[in-house]
Structure formats: C-alpha cells, structure tokens
A and B are shown apart, each in its own frame.
Chain A
Amino acid sequence: MEEYHRHCEEVGFNAEEAHNIVKDCVDGVLGGEDYNHNNINQWTASIVEQSLTHLVKLGKAYKYIVTCAVVQKSAYGFHTASSCFWDTTADGTCTVRWENRTMNCVVNVFAIAIVL
C-alpha cells in the first residue's frame, strides 16, 4: 500500500518561529551596544515594532501583542510575570531573554488566534 502522508496544517502558535524572529530583532538592535540612556527608548521601540512587523508578515490569522523591557545591569535583579486568560488551544506566547555585558532584555510575544 502506498504510504500516504497527510500534509499537516499548523495548529496553534509556533513559538519557536516567533522566538527566532524576535531574537534576530533584538540582536540587530542591541547587538554590540552598551546601555545608553539617550538611545534606550528608541531601541525598545525598534525592537517591538520590528518584531511585530515580522510576525505580521508571516500572514497567519493572529492578533499580536509584543512587549519589551530593557534593564541596565546592576547588583539587583528584576522580576517579571505574566498571566493570560485566553483559548489555550489556539493562543500562545513566547518569551525571549537576551543579555550582554551592560543590559538585560526581555521580550514577550502574545498571539491571539483570530477566529473567522
């Protein structure tokens, strides 16, 4: 009998794909930079805008929320948490943690499936 492989439709949010997209954006914006009070607002805005643009370009039926926090490195930590009330079968999230010598960056992507 001929083996029949069904082409599987992607179900749910592809967190790995989103992770790679966001990580590339952060690398591109913060890579090689030191924490700089004058540029930081522009950097965080660029990270969320570029990430969002790339995610939307995937052409999938999702609404997206991208948040980014950048903290100057110090002796103290910073703590984040998130909680979501949504459809756990269709919606999803991914978090990218990035750091260099002078700063920590955390980017969250929340994807809400659009049900037509």
Chain B
Amino acid sequence: GCWQHLSGKMEDYQATEETTFVVDEVSNNVKEAIESAIGPGVVAHAFNQWTTNVVEQTLSQLTKLGKPFKYIVTCVIMQKNGAGLHTASSCFWDSSTDGSCTIAFGLSI
C-alpha cells in the first residue's frame, strides 16, 4: 500500500541528484565496504588471528593435561600457491623426558 502510494506520487518530484541513482557514488561505497570487510589488510589480519588462535588453543589444551612439562607451540600457515615451504628443527634436551610432535594440516584453500 505504501509503495503504491509513493509511486503514484513520483511524477510530483523534480529529478534532482538526490533522487537519482548515481552509479559512481554507489560503486565507490560498495568498493569501500568490500575493502573494509574482506580486503587484503583484513585477510592478512585473519591469517594472523588464525595462527594466534592455533597456538593459544593448543597451549591451553596441553596445559590442561596437568603434566609437569613446559611447552613450546609454533604454527606456520601458508596459502597453497605452489611456492615451496620447508621446515626443520633441532633440539638439545633430555631425550629421556622431553619430546616433540609435528602436525601438518592441509585445507583446500
């Protein structure tokens, strides 16, 4: 009812900039919104947040085991793009009590 009423009155309005759809202005607004939601800066921040979440949650789970260990957790996240990633580690510790494990986790992205 309201919409019909409005369209019935359309011919009463002067055609001004305020009532005309301005493609460039709207396009810029949309681009800015996309940038702020999922732009490169946001994606980089998301990656950082993921690596932080992984190590923090892993450490939290490990300490909950209540065992007399100190823990060091590291995480590397890289986008699959054909570039090579190589890692190595070496440890000087008490091999009768200390240990490590490495998890490789692949996602489709």
Q: Which A residues fall within an 8 A CB radius of B?
A: 35, 37, 40-41, 43-45, 47-49, 51-52, 55-56, 63-87, 91, 108, 110, 112
- Report the contact-size class of chain B (Cβ under 8 Å from the partner): 35 or more
Chain B residues with CB under 8 Å of A71's CB are 78, 83-86
- Residues on B with C-beta less than 8 A from A41 are 86, 88
- Given the interface contacts A71-B83, A82-B72, A86-B72, does A49 sit within 8 Å of B78 by beta carbon? no
Report the Cα distance A52→B48, complex, angstroms. 28
B28 adjacent to chain A (CB < 8 Å): no
**Known contacts being A41-B86, A70-B85, A74-B81, is A84 close to B73, with CB within 8 Å?**
yes
Specify which of B70, B76, B82, B93 is in contact with A84 (CB 8 Å cutoff): B70
For the complex formed, measure the closest distance between the CB of A103 and the CB atoms of chain B, giving whole angstroms. 9
Chain A residues positioned under 8 Å from B55 (CB to CB): 81-83
Q: Is B90 a contact of A82 with CB atoms below 8 Å?
A: no
Does B29 have its Cβ within 8 Å of any Cβ on chain A?
no
Beyond A48-B89, A71-B85, A85-B62, 20 extra complex contacts between A and B, CB < 8 Å:
A40-B86, A45-B88, A63-B92, A64-B91, A65-B89, A65-B100, A66-B89, A66-B90, A78-B85, A79-B48, A80-B76, A80-B77, A81-B48, A81-B52, A81-B74, A83-B58, A84-B73, A85-B59, A91-B70, A112-B93
What are 7 A-B residue pairs whose CB atoms fall within 8 Å in the complex? A52-B90, A64-B93, A65-B89, A73-B83, A75-B81, A76-B78, A91-B70
Q: Which residues of B contact A (CB under 8 A)?
A: 44, 47-48, 50-52, 54-56, 58-59, 62-63, 70-79, 81-94, 98, 100
Contacts of B76 in A (CB 8 A): 69, 78-80
In this complex, what residue of A is CB-closest to B51?
A: A81
Inter-chain contact A51/B90, CB cutoff 8 Å: yes
* Contact present for B89 and A68 (CB under 8 Å): yes
Q: How far is the CB of B81 from chain A (nearest CB, A)?
A: 5
Minimal Cβ-Cβ distance residue in B for A112: B70
CA distance A112 to B93 in the complex (A): 9
Q: Which residues of B contact A87 (CB under 8 A)?
A: 70
Chain B residues contacting A44 (CB-CB under 8 Å) are: 86-88
